[in-house]
Structure 1
Amino acid sequence: MPPLAELMRRLAPSLAPVSRTERLRATFGALLGIAITGFASSALVGGGAANLPLLIAPMGASAVLLFAVPSSPLAQPWSLIGGNIVAAVIGVTAAKFVPDLFLAAALGVSGAIAVMLALRCVHPPSGAVALTAVVGGPAISQLGYQFVLWPVLANSVLLLASAVAYNNLTGRTYPHRSVATSAPRENEPPESVRLGFSSEDIDAALAEHDVLLDVDRGDLEMILRRAEVRALRRRSGELTCADVMTRDVIGVSPETPLLEALDIVRRHHVKALPVTDDNARVIGILTQTDLLDKVAWGPKGPRLSLTQRMRLTAQNGTAPGSVVREVMTSPAKTARPETPLADLVRLMTSAALHHLPVVDRHSQLIGIVTQTDLIAALLLSRTRRSDQAAA
């Protein structure tokens, strides 16, 4: 590559691809946000304060973040409000007590960065807020600390309100909520049994990198896990659920007595029984966990545990009869025969499933996939690739 081309490649940022729709959404959002902030500020001040600044330049940079990259940690409400207030206070203070203009400007911006990092409210346009407090001219200087409330806080609140309304109306959740960092679901498997890396691995890698990244930590984890699944799909080739499922599957009806269901589990050496209705449609699944946690086993046979009996009585208004319907897990997650192997792995690991019924387009039972089936298929796929590489 020629030296000039190599230099341009290094200087140009490597941005993720953005659709035309997203570009238009961000552009129109900034237009509305700045317009609303300006007109609302003018209406609030009225005609009695002609020399009072209505809209400061740093709001343009804030609009870029709030409307073009609303998922950025630098664009969140605390970053915007906290960063701008901190920067305004430090900038005004530097302007008041440091006679030299350029030294005051340097101290204002650097001090704002230090405090924003400490308070976790980093917002790049806030550096311009601190600079404006120092070099903004007589109209800004005369305001003193009033500059913090007007126009900085007022502009920030108006722009934030515009961003919250516009982003959510156009399909962008704001304030941003990361999927990967949301509360774990009940029975979600520990990270030690999931595929690939753990959250602790990501935290350790970020600590080693030791650079402030303009990406939400949870979003980063979600992207990496999606890449992991895509890599698994590529490595597993064309394998689907139909290639690995057990077709000779035994099901039970919801009215099957628990003692009979236990006998089926023992005789056939299985750990889960799909529960089907009269049309063979899957309505639930009975697992060993259901039989152990929800059933009390005594000399006279199985009976529902006290907790389960009270819950069912409260729900149905009648005494339970110790049948499968009362202890099965319902609704049951299912897969289709054409489901790729990688999607099966993701589904079963994310929901801590050891068994997954397979149904046709009519939701009728045609097979079941177990963790053992998945492991065997993955090992076979890897062996085939190794043989092909050696050939």
Structure 2
Amino acid sequence: MFHSQLRWLNILKPNFKVLPLKERLLCGIGALLGLLLSSLISWWVLGDINAWYIAPMGASSVLLFAVPASPLAQPWNMVVGNTLAGIIGVTCAMYIPNLTEAFSVAVGLSIVLMMTTDSLHPPSGAIAITAVLGGDAVHQLGYHFIFYPVLLNSILLLVIAIVFNRMLGKQYPQIAQVNQRSKDPTPTQKVTIQPQDIQATLDQQTELLDISEYDLQKIILAAQEKANARGQSQFKCQDIMSKHVVSLNEQEDIHSALDKFKQMNLMSLPVSNAEQQLVGTLALYEVVEWFKRANDMRTTWEHQVKHIMVRQVVTVKPEQPIQDLVPYFVERSFNYIPVVEDQKIVGMISRADMIAALNQQLNQISA
């Protein structure tokens, strides 16, 4: 009996990923900071006016900080959706005497217009109701209610959400597509599921899904890679890496680094410190850019590799399967990836190494 009740309760639960405790706490802290700071800034901007905060902003903060990847949480949705709902709500409050009729019409029209303008934002429905049922304080504001508190607080909360999510390394707002170099499908998509396939499938759906086509593409590509890996005998990074690695020292002079680029005929090189630990990477084009601004007095202090190198480096471990590297070489056009153990470079895998290994796997399959 108990198990049957438990199964019934599970039907009511959403098929939703539960984040680790740290991530859940960060989402809560983000909402706390967002609401607190935007409220204080509103009070500071408006001076002696007694700033007050409308409840729908709490609902917006759930989307902005807990599910920033949702299409419903994007800046266009929040600003345009809240503005439309505010205009409709104030108008209904002014011209429809019956409150029940007024807020019902306001919410219904808001949904239609938001869906028409691709700006659906659930908390906006609450803004439409607030404009009608907010009492004399709201009604006296008239259409000023749209600018403050709705628009001002929406923009402030949005800016804080952008900064907070970026600090956590989250892409917000969401970019439009997986392939950032062109509008074409990525190389992997060209031979598997393409964006138009996803769009055609979505067009057949009668329900509005709370996931973007961009996120669907990422999930499908990742699943495709895992499925492909199951059917292949996997090489590990240590099997195909070059153990003789040419690198730059972070204290090295930039002119000396250029000579090494010429000698090795490479487009980029890893950078290590005195302890041979990987600390960055330097591309040839970054050296060229340095020469272009060499006459700028503001950059005269830049004379060592560490001054112009990129400190964020994608690395792999010796035991990793080479399939993990495919997205970097194919989708992001990497030339090489350092193999690191205990923070020290133990090898290097180039695009040519990957091609040779994958070609060997293809020959094994065809045989």
Instruction: Answer whether TM exceeds 0.5 for this pair.
Output: yes
Q: Is the 8 A contact 1:356 1:370 kept in 2?
A: no
Question: Equivalents in 2 of 1:154, 1:8: separation in Å?
Answer: 41
Letter in 2 for 1:374: L
Alpha-carbon deviation of 1:345?
5.2
**Residues 112 and 130, structure 1, Cα contact 8 Å, conserved in 2:** yes
Q: Say whether 1:201 aligns with 2:197.
A: yes
2:188·2:330 contact (CA, 8 Å) conserved in 1?
Answer: no
Asked whether the 8 Å contact 2:89–2:132 carries over to 1, the reply is: yes
Could you tell me which residue of structure 1 aligns to residue 40 of structure 2?
Answer: 39
Query: Quick check: 2:114–2:120 contact (8 Å CA) kept in 1?
Result: yes
The answer on 1:13 being equivalent to 2:14 is yes
Counterpart of 1:31, as a letter, is L
**Whole-Å separation in 1 of the counterparts to 2:354 and 2:230:** 21
**Other-structure match for 1:70:** 68
Q: Which amino acid counterpart does residue 148 of structure 2 have in structure 1?
A: W
Aligned residues of 2:185 and 2:195 also touching (Cα < 8 A)? no
Percent of pairs with identical residues: 35
**120-129 vs 178-187, which deviates more?**
178-187
Query: CA contact under 8 A between 2:59 and 2:123: conserved in structure 1?
Result: yes
Q: Which of 315, 323, 329 in structure 2 is aligned with 1:342?
A: 323
Alpha carbons of 1:177 and 1:376: their partners in 2 closer, same or farther (altered >3 Å)? same
Rg comparison, structure with higher value: 1
- Sort the Cα spacing of 1:356 and 1:133 in 2 relative to 1 into closer, same or farther, 3 A: closer
The CA deviation string for residues 282-326 of structure 1, in whole angstroms up to 9 with x for no partner, is 7559xxxxxxxxxxxxxxxxxxxxxxxxxxxxx9xxxxxxxxxxx
More off after superposition, 30-39 vs 173-182? 173-182
Of the candidates 223, 230, 234, which is equivalent to residue 227 of structure 1? Answer: 223
Q: How many residues align?
A: 301
CA gap of 1:65–1:382, structure 2 versus 1, over 3 A, is farther
SS at structure 1 position matched to 2:15:
coil
**Would you say the 8 A contact 2:110–2:128 is kept in 1?**
yes
CA distance in 1, matches of 2:185, 2:106: 50
Specify whether residues 379 and 133 from structure 1 end up closer, same or farther in structure 2 by C-alpha distance, changes over 3 A only. farther
RMSD, aligned CA: 4.3
SS state at 1:63 partner? helix
- Residue by residue over 1:314-352, the C-alpha shift from the partner in whole angstroms, topping out at 9 and shown as x without a partner, is x9xxxxxxxxxxxxxxxxxxx999663534655565478
For residues 68 and 357 of structure 1, the distance between their equivalents in structure 2, rounded to whole angstroms, comes to 33
Alpha carbons of structure 1 residues 23 and 380: separation in structure 2 relative to 1, 3 Å: same
Counterpart pick for 2:113 among 103, 112, 115: 115
Q: CA deviation at 1:367?
A: 12
Counterpart of 2:98 in structure 1 is 100
Query: How far off is 1:75 after superposition?
Result: 1.4
What's the CA shift string for 1:119-170, capped at 9, x where partnerless?
A: 1111110010001111111211222211111111111122122212222233
Residue 22 of structure 1 aligns with which residue?
A: 23
CA distance in 1, matches of 2:31, 2:355: 50
User: Greater CA deviation, 168-177 or 126-135?
Assistant: 168-177
Distance in 1 between residues matched to 2:135 and 2:232, nearest whole Å: 65
Q: Which residue of 2 aligns with 1:377?
A: 361
CA displacement at 1:86 relative to structure 2: 0.3
Give the whole-Å Cα distance in 1 for the aligned partners of 2:167 and 2:103.
39
Structure 2 counterparts to residues 98-247 of structure 1, below 5 A = 98-177=96-175, 180-184=178-182, 189=187, 191-192=189-190, 194=191, 196-240=192-236
Give runs of aligned pairs for residues 317-328 of structure 1, distance below 5 A: none
CA distance in 2, matches of 1:72, 1:133: 26
TM-score, length basis structure 1: 0.64
**Which position in structure 2 is the counterpart of 1:387?**
none
Closer/same/farther in 2, CA of residues 178 and 379 from structure 1, 3 Å limit: farther
1:33: Cα distance to partner? 1.0
Deviating more after overlay: 168-177 vs 123-132: 168-177
Seen in structure 2, the aligned counterparts of structure 1 residues 30 and 365 have a Cα distance that, compared at 3 Å, is closer
Cα 1:188–1:181 change in 2 (3 A) is closer
Task: Report the counterpart of residue 290 of structure 1 in structure 2.
Answer: none
Shift of the 97–39 alpha-carbon distance from structure 1 to 2, 3 Å rule, reads same
Q: Residues of 2 paired with 1:184 and 1:340: CA distance? A: 29
Whether the aligned pair in 1 keeps the contact of 2:234 and 2:323 (CA below 8 Å) is no
Note the C-alpha offset of 1:111: 0.7
What is the distance in 1 between the residues matched to 2:127 and 2:366?
57
Stretches of structure 2 lacking an aligned partner (at least 5 in a row)? 243-259, 268-291, 293-315
Match of 1:81 in 2: 79
